Amino acid sequence: MRRIDFIVIHCTATPQDTRPEAIQHYWKEYLKWKNPGYHYLIEASGDVRQLATEDRICNGVAGHNANSIHVSYIGGVVADNKPLDNRTAAQRNSMKVLVMRLKQQYPQARIQGHRDFPFVKKACPSFDARKEFGDL
Ligand SMILES: [Zn+2]
């Protein structure tokens, strides 16, 4: 089993109604990625899609993927790609349940946002994940 040191929170930086299939298509056909960007993708409805099993490596944060699990919600931007935490109540709830479960499974892992890694110039996930999940 691989060692998990980070549970990383992301947003897709797309409109909230973007279909998971469209995101997967973009990774595969445009970025030519062999692996998905995230293990879990949370739709506006709160539905959680698992895109990869947790033993696989996903492309969430360059240089930090070998020991990370990546969780993303669909959304996170408004017009002109301005960052905004626009998670629906259902997304917030699903994210909390999922992150709690992951933290139980990987108690040594730190929960943080994509933007909390060094040298990251993105706002992803458009909120302070360390603050929100700091008590888990
Ligand atoms: Zn990200």
CATH number at residue 68: 3.40.80.10
Give me ligand 1 centre to Cα 61, in Å.
Answer: 7
Give me ligand 1 centre to Cα 9, in Å.
Answer: 7
Is there a domain that residue 30 lies in?
yes
Is there a domain that residue 136 lies in?
no
Per-residue pLDDT at 41 exceeds 90: yes
Confidence at 78, pLDDT banded by 50, 70, 90: very high
Is there a domain that residue 1 lies in?
no
Tell me the residue range of the domain where 22 lies. 6-131
Is there a domain that residue 24 lies in?
yes
**Dist. CA 124–CA 78, nearest whole Å:** 13
pLDDT of residue 20: 96
Give me ligand 1 centre to Cα 120, in Å.
Answer: 9
Instruction: Dump pLDDT digits (tens) for 54-68.
Output: 999 999 999 999 999
How many angstroms separate the Cα of 91 from the Cα of each of 49, 64, 108?
A: 12, 25, 25
Is there a domain that residue 121 lies in?
yes
Give me ligand 1 centre to Cα 1, in Å.
Answer: 24
What is the domain count for the chain? 1
